[in-house]
Amino acid sequence: MNPYDEINIKLLEASSHISNKVSDGTLEMLTKPWREIVVSCPIKMDDGNTKVFTGYRIQHNAVRGPYKGGVRYHPDADQNEVKALSSLMTWKNALVNIPFGGAKGGIQVSASELSKSELRNLTRRYTLSIDKFLGPNTDIPAPDLGTNSQTMAWMMDSYGSIHGYTPAIVTGKPVELGGSEGRDSATGRGVVFIIDEICKKLSLDPHKQDFAIQGFGQVGKWIANIAYQKKYNIVAVSDVKGGIYNKNGIDITELIKHYEIEKTFQNFKNVEFITNNELLTTKCDFLIPAAIERVINNTNADNINSKFVIEAANHPVTPDAEKILESKNISVLPDTLVNSGGVIVSYFEWIQNLYQHHWEIERVNSELQKIITKAFHEVFDKSEKENINYRLSALSIGLDRVIHTANLRGYI
């Protein structure tokens, strides 16, 4: 089954928990992207040869506002993967109640194998190939796996070369170019807000929990950093090459310094080296996948050894794995809620750009906390009231909002 089918399975299950009446035709509309753009991006490589990369921008649904979602550079970012991620953006933006629809972009490329100038040329070619479908009130990209603030600076510049200076065309830009304070840490900060809220609700002391985090990029590194500053015990972290473990906790401040220089965990002191599969099956309280999708699947779900799975990555748990986790009483906090901090602060960045205004970091973080905490309580309360899991609760809240807006606009 491809990832898009898997997201639609989850969605159809959630549709039986919504308060709006929904017809089969409406559900069909909500499970099909509105527009799928596929582009070929030829670029001249440093060695003089030309190479062609395939890029996508999938605009899933714009009932509630302009399309919004990241751009991923990864060899597996094919059309079905990008479609799945675009759909998740629709439900995430509706759940946290910000005025955006859902979209996602991607290029099938291993970004680490390209030089800086090759990446810049590829980003320009991709942006110019889709520029007619973008705009601050049409579709606003952001960073995701394999892309970062530099990628957004190149996208903004390429779009601006045709349409003039338009900072609101992308979010996640460098602060010097109109990016928001706190956008780099926003997704990780949001994840820690969610952990704190679930601990409060269930009367757990977060200082007595063990945390294991897969992924040490923009999301995983910030989760580790913020949680460590709060003195939480992080027993394991990993990147694509493997991970490290220490039952008594890893010194994350030292690890970040080491990783920035070495770009690897190798030679870090006082830790045991483990594989990614060992990280996922480590005994801990909070397992936080923050790398790629479908890492918890029917091959390893039986061996997951945590109390919670906190989906910082998008779609890290397949539907069949989720059933196994449920049978083991492991609670899954879903991606649409957990990693929404990134798009919430992207929303703040977009507002700041439209008003040519600059918010202080304290304002960004406190507004983020307000929005994500409200969404957490809505998901938690509905889940308790209707005795359904957190994912069904989160997806059905998003679905209800999209259907209601579609009704008001006269689509259905």
314 binds ligand NAD (CB under 6 A): yes
Number of helical (H) and strand (E) elements in the chain, helices listed first: 14, 12
Angstrom CA distances, 132 to 167, 169, 207, stand at: 16, 12, 50
In the bound complex, what is the minimum distance in angstroms from residue 387's beta carbon to ligand NAD? 28
155 binds ligand NAD (CB under 6 A): no
In the bound complex, what is the minimum distance in angstroms from residue 146's beta carbon to ligand NAD? 5
Angstrom distance (rounded) from CA 58 to CA 86: 6
Has 307 been annotated as catalytic? no
DSSP secondary structure letter of residue 77: -
Q: Which is nearer to ligand NAD, 178 or 220 (CB)?
A: 220
HSE-CB of 21 using CA atoms within 13 angstroms: 2
Closest CA to 130 of 155, 157, 147: 155
Q: Which of 84, 292, 402, 406 touches ligand NAD by CB under 6 A?
A: 292
Q: At 235, list the tokens.
A: 């027993």
Q: Which is nearer to ligand NAD, 100 or 403 (CB)?
A: 100
Q: Which of 3, 105, 106, 146 touches ligand NAD by CB under 6 A?
A: 146
Annotate 289-308 with b (16+ C-beta within 10 A) or e (fewer).
bbbbbbbbbeeebeebebbb
Q: Which of 140, 219, 280, 321 touches ligand NAD by CB under 6 A?
A: 219
180 binds ligand NAD (CB under 6 A): no
240 binds ligand NAD (CB under 6 A): yes
In the bound complex, what is the minimum distance in angstroms from residue 79's beta carbon to ligand NAD? 16
Considering just the CA atoms, what is the radius of gyration of the chain in Å?
A: 20
User: 261 in helix, strand or coil?
Assistant: helix
DSSP secondary structure letter of residue 46: T
144 binds ligand NAD (CB under 6 A): yes
Would you put residue 205 in left (φ > 0), alpha (ψ -120 to 50) or beta?
Answer: beta
In the bound complex, what is the minimum distance in angstroms from residue 316's beta carbon to ligand NAD? 7
Q: Which of 342, 382, 394, 401 touches ligand NAD by CB under 6 A?
A: 342
109 binds ligand NAD (CB under 6 A): no
In the bound complex, what is the minimum distance in angstroms from residue 124's beta carbon to ligand NAD? 20
| Active-site residue (options: 10, 83, 92, 104) | 104
216 binds ligand NAD (CB under 6 A): yes
Q: Which is nearer to ligand NAD, 26 or 339 (CB)?
A: 339
Q: Which of 8, 86, 339, 353 touches ligand NAD by CB under 6 A?
A: 339
Closest CA to 194 of 309, 301, 293: 309
Task: For residue 249, report the phi and psi dihedrals to the nearest 5 degrees.
Answer: 105, 145
Q: Which of 93, 171, 180, 214 touches ligand NAD by CB under 6 A?
A: 214
The H or E element that residue 103 is part of is strand 102-107
Region binding ligand NAD by CB under 6 A among candidate stretches 11-19, 34-42, 193-201, 312-320: 312-320
145 binds ligand NAD (CB under 6 A): yes
Straight-line distance from the first to the last Cα atom of the chain, in angstroms, rounded to the nearest whole number: 30
Region binding ligand NAD by CB under 6 A among candidate stretches 2-10, 18-26, 120-128, 215-223: 215-223
SS3 per-residue string spanning 198-222: HHHHCCCCHHHCEEEEECCCCCHHH
Q: Which of 65, 160, 174, 217 touches ligand NAD by CB under 6 A?
A: 217
Q: Footprint of ligand NAD on this chain (CB under 6 A)?
A: 143-146, 187, 214-220, 238-240, 276, 290-292, 312-314, 339, 342
- Residues annotated as part of the active site: 104
